Amino acid sequence: MTWTLACGMSESFAGFVPMSGTFWAPVPDNCPTPPASLVHIHGTEDGVVPLGGRPIAQTRQGDVLTALALYADHGRFTETGTVTAPGNMTCRQSQNPAGQLLDFCTFPGGHSFSATRLNYGIHRVLDL
């Protein structure tokens, strides 16, 4: 849901922090609204929402890396580096000419929630 909002209603939000989720397949070809800051957080061994997606009944979860590539192209984001972040995360950081962020943060483990990780994402998106 978060990716769908980021792509289709970005102007209504300050930014986005999707955690272990992505588009349902197929990932859209483009986003109709302007880019926004987005920090995606995901476990490297997530079996519920694998990074590469998975079939569920008659549909399929999308591929996270495809979604990130779409948004990077959409917002003209370029990679600025990799950092270690709270919650045992490694974050590949990108920025666009407007100063918006696109971070891809992974942590070892599966499908889980962490207030520490969410707090990091919120602070990055809101530049706190």
Q: Is residue 128 pLDDT above 70, yes or no?
A: no
Average pLDDT taken over every residue of the chain: 95
What are the residue ranges of helices labelled H in the chain? 2-8, 64-75, 115-126
Residue 101 lies in a domain: no
Residue 110 lies in a domain: no
The first and second tokens of residue 4, run together, are 């769908």
Q: Which amino acid is at 96?
A: N
Domain count, the chain: 1
Q: Kind and range of the H or E element at 124?
A: helix 115-126
Residue 8 lies in a domain: yes
Q: What is the pLDDT of residues 28-82, one digit of tens each?
A: 999 999 999 999 999 999 999 999 998 899 988 889 999 999 999 999 999 999 9
Residue 105 lies in a domain: no
Q: What is the pLDDT of residues 9-20, one digit of tens each?
A: 999 999 999 999
The residues, ordered by sequence, that sit 6+ positions from 109 with a Cβ below 8 Å of its Cβ are 43, 44, 45, 46
Residue 109 lies in a domain: no
Q: Could you list the residue range(s) of the whole structural domain that residue 67 is in?
A: 2-91+115-123
CB 49 within 8 A of CB 26: no
Regarding pTM above 0.85, the answer is: yes
Residue 107 lies in a domain: no
Residue 27 lies in a domain: yes
**Residue 82 has what pLDDT?**
98
Residue 20 lies in a domain: yes
